[in-house]
Amino acid sequence: MRQVNLGMIGGGTVGSGVFHALQLNGGLMASRIGVNVAIRKIAVKAFDEPRPYEIPRAVMTTDWRSVVNDPDVHLVAELVGGTTLAREIILSALKLGKPVITANKALLSAHGEELFATAEKFGANLYYEASVCGGIPIIKSLREGFVGNRIKALYGIVNGTCNYILTRMKLEGADFAAVLADAQKQGYAETPPDLDIDGWDAQHKIGILASLAHGFWVSPKKIHVEGIRPVSALDIKFARELGYTIKLLGIIKRNDDLRLAIDESKGRPARKSKIANRKCRVQVSVYPTLIPNSHVLAGVNHVFNAVFVRGDIVGDTLFYGRGAGKDATASAVLSDLADAALDLKLGTKYRLPPFVPHECAGAVMPIEDVVSQYFVRLNVADRPGVLAKIAAIFGQSKIGISSVIQPEGHEGESVPLIFMLHYATNGAVMKALSKIGKLPVVKSKPVMIRVESFE
Ligand code: HSE
């Protein structure tokens, strides 16, 4: 096969971006992979909808079924977004045995298991590089580049909107609400902004990466998510004084003891059945996190995304780039187009199944069991004995304090009191803070932000 015909569903920002990118670099791609990807038809909502790049009228239709069902369309790209119509489109194409490319993280997060099972059943393949972190080739890296590694940890700044807001809060000392309002005015944040700032967009992406990295399907319901609304200018200020930057971080961390797989079989790899029966416990979470300023992720600013991956063989690696936007997303779709075209050309549609279970059954750790360090900010009455009362509760809960800051205040008034806590379980810290929050000397709800030291 020297030419593969593409049917695209969606001619908006991403769809027209892909059309434009193929016009620009389709020839280059063909010379690299030895097969030409030709656009046969693009299904759009309306011919005259606003789009950043023009699409010729002759290539458009408003009937997506005619594109999917066209026997001369070998490959389908779903670029409409949402979870209802997009699901129908993908299922229809997969059932015809056609490979599908999607950029749809929300759909994969909600229906990934069903879509992957359908692809397998009908001998089709599903490609989804553009679903996570736009132009950063993180899916391909996890599936292929790190195929020989166990993923010990993955830390991702995967939401550009949150990173933009937190960066400006840090640089300008501004409050969350003011920066959000301005970001919306400038088009950096959606209205309403909930999907981004409450962490749900990051949840979709981190769930996909966790599933890929660990080979068990991570349901979004199992992912502990906290957004950036509660982060205040005061938190950023104190974090800075302590040498930290606050980022919304997706964390995927394997917590079982990998040595067991070797120990139990006396130096040889454990039998497959033994490994299959063991559960690997993985932290999968999204929350604002204090990152040491010396860590490379602390310098990832504005709308940029970055993913830091630690493999057991490779060690630490870093991926950085634009996580959204028509061109970055188009670059990821083109990468999938090339893979799918090569698979069609070579008849290797199972070369890389979209999702495969790994060596052991896995489970997401409940957040209460996750061990971390903590930054705690309290607003307390500045009176003798207050610090002792709070320290006693941490002590009774077996939580160590690594440092305390109290800016000079006026006796009798409320002052901020900042604690840095040693490693403890989230469960223990949440319980202790609930007790502390009830003390009459504590004037508002305690703020707790986890600290990541990347050890
Ligand atoms: N809204 C996302 C972000 C981009 O702010 O990063 C699309 O996933």
Identify whether 182 is part of a domain: yes
Stretches where the chain sits below pLDDT 50 are: 257-267, 269, 275-276
The pLDDT value given to residue 145: 97
Please name which of 203, 373, 210, 202 lies closest in space to residue 281, comparing C-alpha atoms.
Answer: 210
- Looking at the structure, tell me whether residues 336 and 316 fall in a common domain: no
Q: Each residue of 43-62: b (16+ CB within 10 Å) or e?
A: bbeeeeeebebebeeeebbe
Four-residue CA torsion sign, 10, 11, 14, 19:
positive
CA of 301 to the centre of ligand 1 (A): 14
Is 41 a catalytic site residue?
Answer: no
Name the helix (H) or strand (E) containing 348.
none
- Domain boundaries, position 116: 2-135+326-346
Identify whether 359 is part of a domain: no
**Ligand 1 mutation target, pool 133, 161, 195, most atoms within 8 A of CB:** 161
- Looking at the structure, tell me whether residues 159 and 247 fall in a common domain: yes
- Looking at the structure, tell me whether residues 128 and 68 fall in a common domain: yes
Task: Retrieve residue 397's tokens.
Answer: 């809960």
Identify whether 426 is part of a domain: yes
What is the Cα 134 distance to its own chain's centre?
11
In angstroms, the CA 165 to CA 83 distance is 27
In angstroms, the CA 197 to CA 189 distance is 9
Identify whether 352 is part of a domain: no
Q: Which of 284, 314, 346 is the last residue of a domain?
A: 346
Distances (CA, A) of 100 to 32, 93, 122, 340: 21, 7, 12, 8
Binding pocket residue ranges, ligand 1, CB within 6 Å: 159-161, 196, 201, 323-324
- Looking at the structure, tell me whether residues 184 and 253 fall in a common domain: yes
- Looking at the structure, tell me whether residues 240 and 332 fall in a common domain: no
Identify whether 354 is part of a domain: no
The atom of ligand 1 lying closest to the CA of 201 is: 8
Q: Each residue of 173-210: b (16+ CB within 10 Å) or e?
A: ebebeebbeebeeeebbeeebebbbbbbbbbbbbbbbb
- Looking at the structure, tell me whether residues 165 and 287 fall in a common domain: yes
Continuous H helices in 306-370: 326-346
The atom of ligand 1 lying closest to the CA of 158 is: 6
Please name which of 130, 126, 169 lies closest in space to residue 14, comparing C-alpha atoms.
Answer: 130
- Looking at the structure, tell me whether residues 381 and 242 fall in a common domain: no
In angstroms, the CA 14 to CA 26 distance is 16
The pLDDT value given to residue 278: 60
The pLDDT value given to residue 357: 87
What is the Cα 20 distance to its own chain's centre?
27
In angstroms, the CA 351 to CA 344 distance is 11
- Looking at the structure, tell me whether residues 415 and 342 fall in a common domain: no
Count of structural domains within the chain: 3
DSSP character for 143? I
- Looking at the structure, tell me whether residues 62 and 157 fall in a common domain: no
Catalytic residue among 105, 205, 253, 326: 205
In angstroms, the CA 282 to CA 210 distance is 9
- On whether the CB atoms of residues 45 and 16 are closer than 8 A, the answer is no
Identify whether 117 is part of a domain: yes
- On whether the CB atoms of residues 106 and 83 are closer than 8 A, the answer is yes
CATH code, domain with 417: 3.30.70.260
Please name which of 396, 386, 438 lies closest in space to residue 417, comparing C-alpha atoms.
Answer: 386
- Looking at the structure, tell me whether residues 40 and 125 fall in a common domain: yes
The atom of ligand 1 lying closest to the CA of 205 is: 8
CATH code, domain with 204: 3.30.360.10
- On whether the CB atoms of residues 156 and 196 are closer than 8 A, the answer is no
Pairing of strands 361-364, 304-311: unpaired
